[in-house]
Every structure is written in structure tokens, then in C-alpha cells.
């Protein structure tokens, strides 16, 4: 074994260039896989770092939900419960050892007077006990910390925050910190590896869920069975199956639905009521916690895993080809070894040691590639998404890489090893007996490998082309806005402890201060940030539009500052913009978009009509303007119906996003914004300060990421395939030197010899290309959901890919063909 | 000298110098040499004397460093690479020591190979010529075999068939018996003699005096020079 290793190492170091190419191919192939696997593992595989995570179950409450529903990153609106329902289920436990509730919130923290932003989670007292976690310092919440409502001003810190902000000092226990302006006492620190139960949220602080009204003034829904906002998970007793848990929980849930909740539902059709009565709790595996990220990330990640897998296959084919070529050179050596009495097994072991060693070296090098790839992917993702993931190599990834390397080594080493140890003694002795034949099986195998490589890179090129074109379509979307020189940021004074009436005054001051900054040509604001993926909706009543049960009267809305449309470069179709004079206490006004006017039957005559403020049916708001449809929360989604109220007419607004148009460089504008806001009120942090173009890019980051990565991997695949093609042809020309010499002696001229080699290129490209195109159709279909504005079989993309690959193949074939044509026909006469 | 028809091959002052790293090898030095149509010439001499070099220049596989070479009245130096390939294809038939059959092609395909480089033959013509050539060497029954399935002697017969299939002006053979045992070697020699008797012009290289005697004329090479062409002719006369 050790001797084999030493021999293998010597073999590899004897041909340093070839070994380098091989190691590099492998490093790229394995590295790309490890990087994507790292993301895959984090998003889709890793269980929560808690004892027996397999016992955890996520509960869901699908079915019609009349009333209000608030959902978040922790999962879809289908799964949220009302607070009273959660408490009902929690009270009676038969199959679970604990049932926990949680909900994320945006905290404004103040520690020793210094304002900080972070992420917060409101959790039930049963949260930490259900997870069976032990504190890193102090203690964690118990059920006693969670009752009664609004009474327990206690907080638990996240471990990273404790380490980074307090240097892991135990003296933090008992300290008072301000969360949304209220004083909370720190009672403990969550354990080291634990960062909440929702991927994408890394909690800075945990507070009892019963404190929601304290940290969100105005919240009243602790008793409301028609307000759905709680995410619920539990821990099964060890001997209870998922099915048993489901049955037992529904035995509890169904009577509450039918006896308690059905009477609360009014104004709904019989059909909806029937569906409401049929509601059941769903119970799913909860070992990974609750998050919508895996669901969203699954398709792109699977796609990228597939792509990198293909890249690795192509790299492996190169190595196999290389080993075969080397094996051909060593046929005589193998023959002699066999003649000297070595068994085939011994030779196989030697050769496989060599290929596994090669793969392991490649594997080690691939860790660097994986690291860089991860860092690069990190730069492609917006900061709030990055927070969810670790862009560093973790133990599982290193293991994955090692396993991949060994398997790769065995797979690509096996055929070449089998082949080059097959040389029977007779043929060794007869070697040089004058036939121009070079191992037909090996030649065919090598050609097949290259053809497969061409097919695979064809498929990758097409899919990369599809994503690039999709991205081009995305970047060409007409947003209907002119925001290239606009900088945006958010302010949340109410969260920092200001009351909302004073916040209204503050917002007016902010507007004035921003407008007075040098270079600023326009300032406005909106409650829902523009094109940031957030949206806000409600059902409305509109003059002349008949509402009723089961009639869709939903619209998106926003509250905006004066001059909003002018500032965003949107010319109104009719009526006027929200004006400086639209103030609190004055006549309520709204601007609606065309889709809204169409949906509610207003047409072009929207201006002058009245609508309701939300779900109540008094028509108190007059529509004063009609705007063309412009993008609202997402670049790619179709534009929903939207109405805009005047933000200054609502004194309950706690947070507002501002937009500043300036002719100065973005960095300079950002710096002045920070300075001006700090001077105005240092206790209120500036949030999410960025340029609008960046906000828009982040809105479509997934498109950017997929197309950039798939293009990068496709280029890599094509380069590897080109190397493979080149290597295969170069080797075959070398092996056929004598044969080509004979052909030239028999009268083949240079053009004919070149054509002979290029014909081989053409054949492999044709066969590989056709297979690849067929495969690409499949990929195009599978990836349709990720494509924007094109089908999975875009003719332009397909033909461009075919042209590109043909050009690459011809280029790769050119040198060997030229070399073949330059062979001296004298070679035919050499007989030694 | 009586004016006869121009010789098929006329060489005058042919030299060949190989320049390697720090060495010049004068493989051929001022060779004067004619072959008339219908002649059977053997070039004999010890190993390393320049036989293969001379043959390769004769066969247009290599260009001389100096001197004049006229083939069928045509100065060869003036030919382009494509024209040289055409001459090799039409006027010259090669027989190699190592047979040099292509292992992936059948016997018939090997014989057909040089014919496929010509545009003046229909597939039917080619088939016809292949059949005749194989018939001449007595290998018709092996047309569908692959070279590795044949003995050395059989392979060399196929190589001869390949050389004659295009009706070349001259057959060039470099040690055609070198890889054969004496019985098979004799057989190939007889085949060449038969071909010569049928009108073929042949120039054969050998280091073996026994085989050289089969030829009508022997040219002795020694250290890149023609030793005593006249002497041997006289000796035979
Ligand atoms: N390509 C070459 N480069 C350098 N020297 C060569 C080359 N080919 C032949 N020679 C030299 O030219 C001389 C004649 O060689 P060759 O014609 O092969 O001899 P022969 O066929 O009579 O055995 C030898 O000394 C040989 O080493
Ligand atoms: Mg020789």
C-alpha cells in the first residue's frame, strides 16, 4: 500500500504539467460542487442544533382565514395560527412534550444609550424547553416568563450578539437594555450554535411572545381568533409517530374550530364556511426548524447542484482520458510487469492508487476553490439574505469533498486501469509487428467520453444562455419609474420609543432637512418600501363596486409623501399628485393605479370617486389622481391594483422610507444622509441605506445569481470539454503518426489529413451537440419557473449555443489537425 | 550514348544533409542515378548508408538538400505540396518493411485507400481495381479480413496489392522482406519479379545481397555515395 502510494506519487511528479492540468480540472470540478453543496446543506439538510431534532414537528393551520393574516420568513400564510388557538392546543398535551410559538420582529435596540438594529424573535415560554436547550449564561425563558400578557420585561440574547457586543461577559445578566424604547432585563444567553428556528433570521434578542403589545404599541390581537400570526412547532414524545401526533392534535383542534370558531365567522358564503369547518392541523417533520427559505431555494439550488455535478463529470472524463492516454504509453510496462508475475489485481491497485491520489490532491485544492466560490456567491446575494448563511467551509462540506474526491478517483480511474492492465502477453511480444492499430476499445471509449463531454457542455451552455436571456429580460423590464439617481433608507422612530404623533412631526422635519441638503433635487417617502419585496394589502369598498362574500375586493396599498409621483418620474393620467396640503384632519385623498380603476369598474373616471379606508364600508376617501401602472414590490411580478394614501394624513405611522434624488455621487449622498439624520435625532438609526438601482438589483438577485453562476459553470464546463477534445485529438494524432504518414505516402495531401481530423471533431460535435440540445430542452422545461419572459426552448439561445460550441470545438480541433497535416510522411518508413 | 526515351527517373548531384542539434549528417552525397521504365533496380548497401533516405527522396516523401530530380520528365523541385501528394498517389506505389496496413480497415479497404484519394474513379472503378490487385497477389479470399488476422507474409502481399492498385509508374519498396521469414521473403520477391515481368518498374531497397540479386540491376550505396553501379551491371552481364 505504502509502496503503491510512493510509486503513484513518483508517477504523478514525473509529468508535472499533465498532473497540474488534471489537479486543476478536479479542483474546479470538486470545488464548485462543494460550494453549492455547502449552501444546499445549510438550506435543505442541516437539522437544528438541538437534542433529538428528529422529534420536532411543525404545525400548520391551512384553510380559509377570514380576518387578518401576518406571515413572514418562517413560513407561508397557510401555516400561521391565531394566538388563542395556539394557547388552546398548548394547554392539552397528549402526544407532545412541548408546543412552542414564535414570531420574528424588527427590534430597535438601545444599549447604554447607543442605538442598534438587529433581529428579534418573540417566543413562547415553552420555546426553549421544547427545544431542550441549555443557556450559555444566565437562564432561558420558562413558561412562567410568558404570563400574564405584557408583564414580563425580560430578554434572552443571541450568542453571537453576546460575544460580539459584550465580549461574552457574564456581567450582562441583569443588565437593562431598551427594546423598541422599553426597558427589558437580560436574564440569559442562548447556546452557542443556536441561531433561532428560522433559517434567514439570526436573532439578536428573544422576548416573551406575550410582550408583543409592549414592543408593538397598538397590537391588540391576543384574544382575536381571527388574527393569524403565530408560528407553532412541537416535540413528539419519542414513541409517537407523525400520524399519531396528527390524529391526536386534530382531535383537539376540530372541536375548537367547530364549537368556538365557526360562530365567529360572519359574512362568508356557505361554500367557504364548509371549507372552514373542514380545517385540519397539519403536522410535518420539523427537524430543520420553520422557514420558507428552503422552499424558495430548492429549485435554484437543485439546478445549480445539477450544473456543478455535470461540470465534475466533464472534469472526470478529462482525467479518465488522460489516464487512458498515459495507460497506452505504459502498455509495454504493464505487459512486462505481468510477464514478471504480477497479478492483475496488484496492477489495478497500483493504478487506482494513482488516480485516487490524484483526486485527493485535487480535493485538497478544491477546498480553496470552494472557499472562493462561496465568497463570490456571498457577494451576489443581498445583505439580508446573506445573514442566513455561512459562506465558509464547514465540517460537513469538507467530508463531502473528501468523499467526492475518493469516489471521483475510483470512477475515473477504473476503466483506464482495467484497460491498461488487460494487455495480454502475446500482443506485447508481437508489438511492432506492423499493424497500425491503437487499441480500438480504448479509442472508442475516449471518443465516447469526449462526445459525452460535448453533450453535457452543450446542455449547460443552453441553460446558461436561457438564464442570461432571462436576466436580460428582467433588466429590460420597464418599471415605469425614473429612480437611477435616487438614494433610499428607512426610519422607525416609533420602534425607538417615540410616540406616533411625535413621529409624524419628526417625519416632516426629516423631509425638510433632506430637501435642504446640497445637490438634492427631490425628496419623498413611502410606508411600504418601493421594489423591496414587501407588500401590504387589504380589501376595500369602492363607490359603484358591489362587494359581497367571496367577491375579490383586494388591493395593495401604500402611504406616500407629497409629490411622490412627480419625484418617481410617473406622469399622472388624470387628477393630481399627493400634495403638501393633504394633511392630518383634512379631507382624505387617494391616488389609484389603472389596474385598480379597472378592477373596481372605475375606468378613466376614477378621479372624484370615493373609496373606503380599509375593510369598513364607509366611503370616506376621495380619489384625486389616476396613475399609470408602475412596479410596486417586485420587478418581475405583474403589477397589482394599488391605491396610495397620503402618509401625512395618518398619524399612526411608525416607520417610513425616504427617497432622495441628488446629482451628487451616491456615496456622498449616503454620507450626508447619515450625518443629517444623526444630527436630527441620534437615537433613531438609519436603516437599509442604499441606492434605488441597488435595491432593484437585490429585488432580482436570484436571477442575477443563477445566471451568473450558471454562465460561469457553463464556461468552465466548455473549457474543460475543449481541453478534453484537444487532449483526445492530440493524443490520437500522436498515436496515429505512422498511420497518417502512410496515408500521406499513399498520396493524401495536407488538406485531406486536416479534414480527416476535423471530420472526427465534426462527428463528435454533431452527436454530442444533438444529445446536448435534447438534454437542454429537458433542462429548459424543468427550469421554466425560473425563467422570465421566455420559454424553455428559445431559438436564439439554442442557435447561439450551438454556434459557440461548434466554434470552440473547431478551435480545439484546429491545432491537432494542423499537427497531423505537418506530419512528415517519412514516418511511414520508420520501422523501429 | 544513343538518344533513347527520357528515363523515368533522373537524379543528378542529389545530396541530403540532416542537421540535428550540433551535428550535420551527410546522408547522401552527389548521387547520379537513372531508372528507365520497366527496369527492376535494387539499391543495396549496409545499414545506415542512406538507402531509405534515397528512397524517400525518390518517393517524394522528402526533399533533397541539393541536386536535380526529374520524374517522368518533370522537375520535382517545382512541385507544390498538393502536387507532390498527387504524384505520390498516381505515379508511385510504396511497399514498406513494416507493411503499414491500417488495422481498423479491412484488407479490401486498405487496398482501396490510395484510390479514395483520387477524384477520377467511380466507386465501381475502385472496386474493380481492388479486386484485380488482390487477385494479382493472390489475396482475394481475404478481402474482408482485418490485417491483424493475417500472417506477416499475407500482410505484405496486401501491401503490395495496395501499391499496385493505382497502376503507378514505379513501385518503391524499402526492405520489403525485412519483417518476414525467409520463406515468406522469397514469396514476396517472386511476386515482385512477376510484377516486373508484367511491365512494372520497381526500385527496391535491401541490405541483403541474396534478395538484391533478384533485381535486373543493382546499385550499391556506401556512406551516401553510389559505389560501383557500372561494375555490378558488368558483373551480371
Ligand atoms: N531524420 C534524420 N535526422 C538525422 N539523421 C538522419 C535522419 N534520417 C536518417 N539519418 C541519418 O542518415 C543516414 C542514412 O540513414 P538511412 O537512409 O535511414 O540509412 P539506411 O536506410 O541505409 O539504413 C544515417 O546515418 C542516419 O542516422
Ligand atoms: Mg533503411
Give me the pLDDT at residue A551, please.
80
3.40.50.720, 3.30.420.40, 3.40.47.10, 3.40.50.300: CATH of B38-63+73-236: 3.40.50.300
Give me the pLDDT at residue A831, please.
58
Give me the pLDDT at residue A636, please.
85
Give the rounded distance of the alpha carbon of A733 from its chain centre: 46
**CA distances (Å), A647 to each of A320, A657, B192, in order?**
67, 11, 108
CB B142 within 8 A of CB B193: no
For residue B2, pLDDT beyond 50? no
Q: How far apart are CA A832 and CA A733, in angstroms?
A: 19
Highest mean pLDDT among A23-32, A166-175, A214-223, B20-29: A166-175
Q: Hey, are the CB atoms on B100 and A440 less than 8 Å from each other?
A: no
Nearest Cα neighbor of A189 from A143, A233, A128, A145 is: A128
Q: How far apart are CA A124 and CA A104, in angstroms?
A: 12
Please give the ipTM for the structure prediction: 0.85
Q: What is the mean pLDDT of residues A519-533?
A: 92
Ligand 1 atom at minimal distance to the Cα of residue B55: 17
Name every chain A residue with its beta carbon within 8 A of the beta carbon of B48: none
Neighbours of A16 (CB within 10 A): 9
Name every chain A residue with its beta carbon within 8 A of the beta carbon of B170: none
Q: What are the residue ranges spanned by the domains of chain A?
A: 2-41+296-475+701-829, 53-287, 486-699
Q: Minimal Cα distance from A432: which residue of B? A: B98
Give me the pLDDT at residue A430, please.
43
Q: Hey, are the CB atoms on A747 and B62 less than 8 Å from each other?
A: no
The full DSSP string for A260-289 is IIGGG--S--HHHHHHHHT---EEEE-TT-
Q: What is the dihedral of CA A520, A522, A528, A533, to 10 degrees?
A: -70
Of A437, A440, A745, the CB nearest to B88: A745
User: What's the pTM?
Assistant: 0.78
By mean pLDDT, which of A162-166, A315-319, A689-693, B124-128 is the weakest?
Answer: A315-319
Q: Which residues pair with A201 in a beta bridge?
A: none
Q: What is the sign, positive or negative, of the torsion defined by CA atoms of B85, B86, B89, B90?
A: negative
Collect all residues with Cβ–Cβ distance below 8 Å to A531 and sequence separation of at least 6: A479, A631, A632, A633, A634, A635, A692, A695, A696, A699
Which cell goes with A504? 409624524
CB A483 within 8 A of CB A693: yes
Q: Is the CB of B51 under 6 A from ligand 1?
A: yes
Q: How far apart are CA A118 and CA A8, in angstroms?
A: 54
Query: What are the tens digits of pLDDT across the range A44-78?
Result: 888 999 999 999 999 999 988 887 778 777 888 88
Tell me, in angstroms, the distance from the centre of ligand 2 to residue A735's CA.
22
Nearest Cα neighbor of A409 from A346, A357, A350, A448 is: A357
Query: What are the tens digits of pLDDT across the range B30-55?
Result: 999 899 999 999 999 998 899 999 99
For residue A230, pLDDT beyond 50? yes
The SS3 call for residue A109 is strand
CB A173 within 8 A of CB A187: yes
Q: What is the mean pLDDT of residues A603-617?
A: 88
CA atoms within 13 A on the CB side of A102: 29
If you ran DSSP here, which 8-state letter would residue A636 be given?
S
A101 φ, ψ (degrees, to nearest 5): -125, 150
By mean pLDDT, which of A338-342, A519-523, A806-810, B31-35 is the weakest?
Answer: A338-342
Task: Give the pLDDT band (50/70/90) at residue A424.
Answer: low
Give me the pLDDT at residue A433, please.
41
Q: Which residues between 138 and 177 in chain B have a beta carbon less than 8 angstroms from any beta carbon of chain A? A: 147-148, 152, 155, 162, 174-175
For residue B129, pLDDT beyond 80? yes
Give me the pLDDT at residue B236, please.
40
Q: Which residues pair with B41 in a beta bridge?
A: B203, B217
Q: What is the mean pLDDT of residues B133-153?
A: 91
Q: What is the mean pLDDT of residues A547-553?
A: 79
Reading phi first (left if > 0) and then psi (alpha if -120 to 50, else beta), residue A640 is in beta
For residue A802, pLDDT beyond 50? yes
Give me the pLDDT at residue A633, please.
86
Collect all residues with Cβ–Cβ distance below 8 Å to A118 and sequence separation of at least 6: A107, A109, A161, A203, A204, A205
Q: What is the mean pLDDT of residues A162-184?
A: 93
Query: What are the tens digits of pLDDT across the range A370-407?
Result: 999 888 888 887 766 666 677 777 788 888 888 888 88
Task: Give the pLDDT band (50/70/90) at residue A432.
Answer: very low
Q: What is the mean pLDDT of residues B86-104?
A: 88
By mean pLDDT, which of A329-343, A359-373, B63-77, B192-206 is the weakest?
Answer: A329-343
| Buried residues in A283-307 as b, exposed as e (16+ CB within 10 A) | beebebbbbbbbeebeebbebbbbb
Q: Hey, are the CB atoms on A746 and B114 less than 8 Å from each other?
A: yes
Task: Give the pLDDT band (50/70/90) at residue A271.
Answer: confident
Name every chain B residue with its beta carbon within 8 A of the beta carbon of A440: 103-104
B117 has a chain A CB within 8 A of its CB: yes
Q: What is the dihedral of CA A552, A553, A559, A560, to 10 degrees?
A: 90
Q: How far apart are CA A133 and CA A123, in angstroms?
A: 14
Q: What is the mean pLDDT of residues B141-168?
A: 91
Query: What are the tens digits of pLDDT across the range A734-789?
Result: 888 888 888 998 889 899 999 999 998 999 999 999 999 999 888 888 888 888 88
A621-627 and A574-575 strand pairing:
antiparallel
Percent of chain A with pLDDT over 90: 46
By mean pLDDT, which of A16-20, A136-140, A162-166, A279-283 is the weakest?
Answer: A16-20
Tell me, in angstroms, the distance from the centre of ligand 2 to residue B160's CA.
18
Give me the pLDDT at residue A434, please.
42
For residue A419, pLDDT beyond 80? no
Nearest bound ligand to the CA of residue B49? 1
Q: What is the mean pLDDT of residues A491-518?
A: 91
Nearest Cα neighbor of A77 from A95, A62, A92, A88 is: A62
For residue B122, pLDDT beyond 60? yes
CB A419 within 8 A of CB A442: yes
| Buried residues in A768-802 as b, exposed as e (16+ CB within 10 A) | bbebbbebbeebbeebeebbbebebebeebbebbb
SS3 annotation, B71-101: ECCEEHHHCCHHHHHHHHHHHEEEECCCCCE
Ligand 1 atom at minimal distance to the Cα of residue B205: 21
Using alpha carbons only, give the angle B49, B52, B55 rounded to the nearest 5 degrees: 120
Q: What is the mean pLDDT of residues A161-176?
A: 94
Q: Is the CB of B20 under 6 A from ligand 1?
A: yes
Q: What is the mean pLDDT of residues A503-518?
A: 95
Give me the pLDDT at residue A733, please.
87
Name every chain B residue with its beta carbon within 8 A of the beta carbon of A748: 85, 89, 117
Which cell goes with A40? 444546499
Task: State the smallest CA–CA distance between residue B237 and chain A in angstroms.
Answer: 33
Pocket-testing residue among B31, B48, B98, ligand 1, by greatest number of atoms within 8 A of Cβ: B48
Percent of chain A with pLDDT over 70: 95
End-to-end CA distance of chain A: 37
Give me the pLDDT at residue A610, please.
94
A–B: how many Cβ contacts below 8 A?
A: 101
Q: How far apart are CA A639 and CA A648, in angstroms?
A: 25
Tell me, in angstroms, the distance from the centre of ligand 1 to residue A348's CA.
41
**CA distances (Å), B92 to each of A576, A697, B65, in order?**
96, 71, 21
Neighbours of A383 (CB within 10 A): 10
Task: Give the pLDDT band (50/70/90) at residue A422.
Answer: low
Amino acid at each position: 500500500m505504502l509502496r503503491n502510494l510512493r510509486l503513484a506519487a513518483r508517477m504523478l511528479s514525473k509529468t508535472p504539467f499533465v498532473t497540474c492540468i488534471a489537479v486543476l480540472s478536479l479542483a474546479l470540478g470538486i470545488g464548485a460542487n462543494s460550494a453549492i453543496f455547502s449552501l444546499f446543506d445549510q438550506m435543505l439538510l442541516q437539522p437544528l442544533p438541538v437534542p433529538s431534532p428528529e422529534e420536532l414537528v411543525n404545525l400548520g393551520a391551512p384553510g380559509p382565514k377570514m380576518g387578518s393574516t401576518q406571515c413572514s420568513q418562517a413560513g407561508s400564510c397557510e401555516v400561521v395560527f391565531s394566538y388563542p388557538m395556539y394557547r388552546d392546543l398548548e394547554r392539552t398535551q397528549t402526544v407532545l412534550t412541548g408546543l412552542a410559538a414564535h414570531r420574528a420582529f424588527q427590534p430597535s435596540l438601545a444599549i447604554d444609550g447607543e442605538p442598534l438594529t438587529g433581529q428579534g424573535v418573540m417566543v413562547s415560554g415553552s420555546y426553549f424547553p421544547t427545544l431542550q436547550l441549555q443557556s450559555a449564561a444566565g437562564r432561558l425563558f420558562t413558561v412562567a416568563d410568558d404570563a400574564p400578557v405584557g408583564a414580563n420585561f425580560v430578554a434572552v440574547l443571541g450568542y453571537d450578539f453576546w460575544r460580539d457586543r459584550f465580549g461574552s461577559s457574564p456581567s450582562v445578566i441583569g443588565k437593562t437594555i431598551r427594546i423598541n424604547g422599553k426597558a427589558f432585563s437580560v436574564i440569559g444567553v442562548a447556546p452557542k450554535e443556536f441561531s433561532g428556528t428560522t433559517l434567514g433570521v439570526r436573532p439578536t434578542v428573544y422576548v416573551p411572545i406575550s410582550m408583543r403589545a409592549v414592543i408593538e404599541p397598538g397590537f391588540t390581537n391576543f384574544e382575536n381568533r381571527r388574527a393569524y400570526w403565530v408560528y407553532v412547532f412541537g416535540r413528539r414524545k419519542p414513541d409517537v409517530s407523525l400520524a399519531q401526533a396528527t390524529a391526536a392534535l386534530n382531535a383537539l383542534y376540530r372541536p375548537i374550530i367547530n364549537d368556538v370558531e365557526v360562530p365567529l365567522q360572519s359574512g362568508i358564503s356557505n361554500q367557504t364556511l364548509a371549507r372552514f369547518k373542514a380545517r385540519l392541523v397539519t403536522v410535518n417533520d420539523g427537524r430543520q426548524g420553520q422557514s420558507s427559505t428552503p422552499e424558495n431555494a430548492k429549485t435554484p439550488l437543485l439546478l445549480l447542484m445539477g450544473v456543478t455535478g455535470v461540470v465534475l463529470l466533464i472534469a472526470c472524463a478529462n482525467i479518465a482520458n488522460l489516464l487512458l492516454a498515459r495507460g497506452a504509453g505504459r502498455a509495454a510496462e504493464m505487459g512486462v510487469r505481468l510477464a514478471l508475475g504480477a497479478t492483475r489485481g496488484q496492477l489495478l491497485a497500483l493504478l487506482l492508487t494513482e488516480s485516487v491520489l490524484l483526486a485527493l490532491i485535487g480535493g485538497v485544492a478544491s477546498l480553496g476553490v470552494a472557499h472562493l466560490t462561496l465568497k463570490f456567491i456571498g457577494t451576489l446575494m443581498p445583505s439580508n439574505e446573506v445573514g442566513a448563511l455561512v459562506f465558509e467551509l464547514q465540517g460537513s462540506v469538507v467530508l463531502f469533498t473528501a468523499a467526492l474526491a475518493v469516489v471521483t478517483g475510483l470512477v475515473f480511474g477504473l476503466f483506464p486501469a482495467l484497460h491498461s492492465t488487460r494487455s495480454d502477453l502475446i500482443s506485447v511480444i508481437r508489438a511492432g509487428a506492423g499493424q497500425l492499430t491503437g487499441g480500438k476499445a480504448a479509442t472508442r471509449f475516449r471518443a465516447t467520453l469526449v462526445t459525452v463531454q460535448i453533450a453535457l457542455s452543450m446542455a449547460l451552455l443552453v441553460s446558461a444562455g436561457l438564464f442570461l436571456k432571462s436576466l436580460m429580460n428582467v433588466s429590460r423590464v420597464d418599471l415605469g419609474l425614473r429612480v437611477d439617481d435616487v438614494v433610499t433608507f428607512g426610519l422607525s422612530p416609533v420602534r425607538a420609543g417615540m410616540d406616533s404623533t411625535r413621529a409624524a412631526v419628526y417625519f416632516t422635519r426629516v423631509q425638510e432637512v433632506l430637501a435642504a441638503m446640497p445637490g438634492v433635487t427631490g425628496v419623498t417617502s413611502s410606508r411600504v418600501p418601493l421594489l423591496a419585496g414587501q407588500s401590504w394589502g387589504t380589501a376595500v369598498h369602492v363607490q359603484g363596486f358591489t362587494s359581497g362574500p367571496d367577491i375579490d375586493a383586494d388591493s395593495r396599498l401604500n402611504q406616500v409623501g407629497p409629490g411622490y409621483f412627480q419625484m418617481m418620474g410617473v406622469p399622472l393620467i388624470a387628477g393630481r399628485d399627493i400634495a403638501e396640503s393633504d394633511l392630518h384632519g383634512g379631507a382624505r385623498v387617494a391616488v389609484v393605479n389603472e389596474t385598480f380603476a379597472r378592477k373596481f369598474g372605475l375606468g378613466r373616471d376614477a378621479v372624484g370617486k370615493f373609496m373606503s379606508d380599509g375593510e369598513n364600508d364607509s366611503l370616506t376617501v376621495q380619489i384625486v389622481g389616476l396613475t399609470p401602472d408602475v412596479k410596486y414590490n417586485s420587478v418581475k411580478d405583474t403589477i397589482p391594483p394599488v391605491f396610495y394614501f397620503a402618509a401625512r394624513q395618518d398619524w399612526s405611522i411608525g416607520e417610513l422610507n425616504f427617497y432622495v434624488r441628488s446629482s451628487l455621487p451616491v456615496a456622498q449622498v449616503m454620507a450626508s444622509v447619515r450625518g443629517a439624520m444623526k444630527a436630527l435625532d441620534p437615537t433613531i438609526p438609519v436603516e437599509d441605506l442604499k441606492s434605488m438601482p441597488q435595491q432593484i438589483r437585490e429585488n432580482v438577485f436570484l436571477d442575477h445569481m443563477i445566471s451568473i453562476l450558471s454562465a460561469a459553470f457553463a464556461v468552465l464546463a466548455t473549457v474543460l470539454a475543449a481541453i478534453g477534445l484537444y487532449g483526445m485529438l492530440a493524443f490520437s494524432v500522436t498515436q496515429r503518426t505512422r498511420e497518417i504518414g502512410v496515408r500521406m505516402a499513399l498520396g493524401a495531401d495536407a488538406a485531406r489529413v486536416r479534414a480527416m481530423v476535423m471530420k472526427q471533431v465534426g462527428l463528435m460535435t454533431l452527436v454530442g451537440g444533438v444529445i446536448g440540445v435534447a438534454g437542454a430542452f429537458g433542462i429548459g422545461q424543468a427550469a421554466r419557473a425560473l425563467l422570465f419572459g421566455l420559454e424553455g426552448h428559445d431559438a436564439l439561445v439554442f442557435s447561439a449555443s450551438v454556434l459557440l460550441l461548434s466554434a470552440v470545438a473547431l478551435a480545439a480541433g484546429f491545432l491537432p489537425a494542423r499537427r497531423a497535416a505537418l506530419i512528415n510522411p517519412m514516418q511511414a518508413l520508420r520501422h523501429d | 550514348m544513343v538518344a533513347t526515351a527520357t528515363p523515368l527517373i533522373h537524379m543528378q548531384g542529389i545530396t541530403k544533409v540532416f542537421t540535428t542539434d550540433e551535428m550535420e549528417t551527410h546522408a547522401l552525397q552527389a548521387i547520379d542515378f537513372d531508372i528507365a521504365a520497366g527496369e527492376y533496380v535494387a539499391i543495396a548497401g549496409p545499414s545506415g548508408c542512406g538507402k531509405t533516405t534515397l528512397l524517400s527522396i525518390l518517393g517524394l516523401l522528402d526533399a533533397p538538400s541539393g541536386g536535380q530530380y526529374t520524374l517522368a520528365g518533370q522537375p520535382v523541385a517545382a512541385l507544390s505540396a498538393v502536387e507532390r501528394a498527387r504524384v505520390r498517389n498516381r505515379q508511385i506505389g510504396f511497399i514498406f518493411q513494416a507493411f503499414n496496413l491500417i488495422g481498423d480497415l479491412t484488407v479490401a479497404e486498405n487496398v482501396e485507400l490510395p484510390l479514395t484519394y483520387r477524384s477520377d474513379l467511380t466507386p465501381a472503378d475502385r472496386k474493380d481495381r481492388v479486386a484485380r490487385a488482390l487477385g494479382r497477389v493472390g489475396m482475394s479470399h481475404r478481402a474482408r479480413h482485418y490485417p491483424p488476422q493475417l500472417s506477416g507474409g499475407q500482410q505484405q502481399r496486401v501491401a503490395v496489392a495496395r501499391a499496385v492498385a493505382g497502376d503507378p509508374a514505379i513501385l518503391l519498396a524499402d526492405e520489403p522482406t525485412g519483417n518476414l521469414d525467409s520463406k515468406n521473403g522469397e514469396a514476396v520477391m517472386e511476386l515482385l519479379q512477376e510484377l516486373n515481368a508484367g511491365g512494372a518498374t520497381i526500385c527496391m531497397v535491401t541490405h541483403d545481397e541474396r534478395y538484391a540479386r533478384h533485381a535486373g540491376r543493382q546499385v550499391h550505396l556506401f556512406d551516401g555515395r553510389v559505389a560501383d553501379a557500372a561494375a555490378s551491371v558488368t558483373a551480371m552481364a
